[in-house]
Amino acid sequence: MVKTRINQANPQELLEIPGMDATGRDAIVRHRADHGPIRNADELAKVLGRSAANAAWAGEIDFDPADDTAPEAPGA
């Protein structure tokens, strides 16, 4: 299975993450533009306004690259 690279995925690819909706997608894109890459599942949960990370994300999402020099996602 190919994981979604959360810090490089375009808006359409973000919607392919199980449980992701347009509101979550927009929050991720906005966060990446304003604050840089999302470093881990706990940070993603905060971006999405959830109290805890979704256990399914471990198998679906790759947080690399998660450094400040990560390229902005295409179309973001």
Q: What are the extents of the domains in the chain?
A: 4-62
Q: Tell me which DSSP letter residue 45 carries.
A: H
DSSP per-residue string spanning 12-27: HHHTTSTT--HHHHHH
pLDDT tens column, 16-69: 998 899 999 999 999 999 999 999 999 999 999 988 888 878 889 999 876 554
**pLDDT score recorded for residue 36:** 94
**pLDDT score recorded for residue 67:** 55
pTM reported for the whole predicted model: 0.80
pLDDT at residue 9 above 60? yes
pLDDT at residue 15 above 90? yes
> What's the CA gap between 66 and 4, in Å, rounded?
13
Residue 57, classed as helix, strand or coil, is helix
